[in-house]
């Protein structure tokens, strides 16, 4: 693949354009708004300048990368691209409209990809005359720094092209994993209990938000669940949870939190608005947390995470290796959940799940078949 097109000059689109240009490709970055393009280029300039300051590249490298990126406000500028990655608003109808246009515009061998974090790739591909060339290529923010890329074939996709995209992402110095086109793919599905179970523990009055955050950081997580939700933004995090919940036919495992919904309604989105679960710049305060309470928090959240990972593997979402790579490289978990479950003992994890089911009698805490099989 030679020329790369990126649609959308927001933080993700600009970051993806930078990654492709750093890998040596000529890139065309398209956005309908000149202001968005200017802001995107400023972000690329800042990112590259930081890399120069840290000695990760030379000033000459920076200039060459910058020269490889051209911009346009016309979608027709994609006509000679070999791969186009869309990174626009998370609205299915808008993405379908764009892909229908692209499908009619580009040459026969051009691959069309969406950077969506949770929308159906199969639905996006359905509007194209050549759906076999449509894929999800989901980068993580910030794209130049986060190594993970989820590659998601649609139901209609040519499987051989998935391997070609995997090789391309390796050339781009990324860590690619292949996931089935199911809601949330790997990371946004498997990570849901990290947020939702923490919210349940808080809502039940078992522990405060800072206590829960400090308990999980003591396990090796870089950020506690409430800190991380504040960083992601509650408008974004809640929307993904709601999307996954709906797509899984309202499975109680993915039920959104009214507590988080109220933050969204209040406009308390987290760091970007100055207030979420915590006020900023102060952030999460220090707390004294006794070991017994910390253990209760840790075991409950870990049990739900490992149960979800086991279910995802059992259902064929991804290989065991890719599941663990996704969680360590995409959201910086201290260990892959499958490996963690093996280390703890799947029998022990199953006992934690059974205790939760006995206590709450809620289908949310049903043990996955995948976990049961690993216990035997």
| In a shared domain, residues 138 and 235 | no
Q: Is the pLDDT of residue 231 over 80?
A: yes
pLDDT at 39: 96
CATH at 287 = 1.10.1040.50
Q: How many domains does the chain have?
A: 2
Is cis: bond before 104, omega within 30 of 0? no
- Could you give the residue numbers annotated as active site? 117, 138, 150, 188
| In a shared domain, residues 164 and 306 | no
**What number of CA atoms fall less than 13 Å from residue 347's CA on the CB side?**
1
* Structure tokens given for 242: 């709601």
Per-residue DSSP letters for 194-250? HHHHHHHHHHTTSS-HHHHHHHHHHTT-SS-HHHHHHHH-HHHHHHHHHHHHHHTTT
In a domain, 183, yes or no: no
- Given 141, 157, 178, the domain boundary residue is 178
| In a shared domain, residues 174 and 192 | no
| In a shared domain, residues 80 and 142 | yes
Confidence of residue 199 (pLDDT cuts 50, 70, 90): very high
Q: What is the pLDDT of residues 53-64, one digit of tens each?
A: 999 999 999 999
pTM value is 0.92
Q: Is the pLDDT of residue 1 over 90?
A: no
Grouping H, G, I as helix, E, B as strand and the rest as coil, residue 126 is coil
Q: What is the pLDDT of residues 244-264, one digit of tens each?
A: 999 999 999 999 999 999 999
pLDDT at 118: 84
- Given 126, 154, 178, the domain boundary residue is 178
Domain enclosing residue 275, as ranges: 188-375
Contact 338, 313 (CB under 8 A): yes
Angle between helices 234-247 and 258-266 (to 10 degrees): 140
pLDDT at 55: 95
Q: What is the pLDDT of residues 283-320, one digit of tens each?
A: 999 999 999 999 999 999 999 999 999 999 999 999 99
In a domain, 225, yes or no: yes
* Structure tokens given for 52: 């120069």
Measured at the CA of 365, the angle between CA 359 and CA 369, to 5 degrees, comes to 130
CATH at 146 = 3.40.50.720
Grouping H, G, I as helix, E, B as strand and the rest as coil, residue 179 is coil
Spell out the residues 6+ positions from residue 254 whose beta carbon is closer than 8 angstroms to its own: 192, 196, 241, 244, 245, 248
């Amino acid at each position: 693949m030679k020329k790369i097109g990126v649609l959308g000059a927001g933080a993700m689109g600009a970051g993806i354009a930078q990654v492709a240009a750093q890998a040596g490709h000529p890139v065309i970055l398209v956005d309908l708004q000149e202001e968005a393009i200017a802001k995107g280029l400023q972000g690329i300039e800042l990112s590259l300048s930081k890399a120069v300051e840290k000695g990760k590249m030379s000033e000459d490298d920076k200039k060459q990368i910058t020269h490889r990126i051209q911009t346009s406000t016309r979608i027709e500028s994609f006509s000679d691209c070999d791969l186009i990655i869309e990174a626009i608003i998370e609205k299915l109808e808008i993405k379908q409209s764009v892909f229908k246009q692209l499908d009619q515009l580009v040459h026969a061998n051009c691959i069309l990809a969406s950077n969506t974090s949770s929308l159906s790739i199969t639905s996006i591909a359905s509007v194209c005359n050549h759906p076999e060339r449509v894929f999800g290529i989901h980068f993580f923010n910030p794209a130049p720094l986060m190594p993970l890329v989820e590659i998601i074939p649609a139901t209609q996709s040519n499987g051989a092209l998935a391997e070609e995209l995997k090789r391309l992402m390796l050339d781009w110095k990324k860590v690619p994993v292949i996931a089935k086109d199911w809601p949330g793919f790997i990371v946004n599905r498997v990570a849901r209990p990290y947020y939702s179970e923490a919210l349940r523990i808080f809502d039940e009055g078992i522990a405060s938000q800072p206590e829960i955050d400090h308990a999980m950081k003591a396990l090796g997580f870089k950020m506690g669940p409430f800190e991380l939700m504040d960083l992601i933004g509650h408008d974004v995090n809640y929307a993904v949870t709601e999307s996954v919940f709906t797509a899984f036919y309202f499975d109680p495992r993915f039920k959104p939190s009214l507590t988080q919904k109220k933050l969204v309604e209040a406009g308390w989105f987290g760091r970007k608005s100055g207030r979420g679960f915590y006020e900023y710049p102060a952030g999460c305060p220090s707390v004294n947390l006794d070991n017994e309470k910390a253990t209760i928090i840790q075991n409950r959240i870990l049990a739900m995470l490992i149960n979800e990972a086991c279910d995802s593997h059992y259902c064929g979402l991804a290989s065991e290796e890719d599941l663990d790579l996704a969680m360590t490289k995409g959201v910086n978990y201290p260990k892959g959940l499958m490996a963690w479950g093996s280390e703890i003992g799947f029998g022990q994890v199953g006992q934690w799940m059974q205790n939760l089911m006995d206590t709450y009698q809620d289908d949310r805490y049903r043990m996955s078949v995948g976990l049961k099989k690993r216990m035997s």
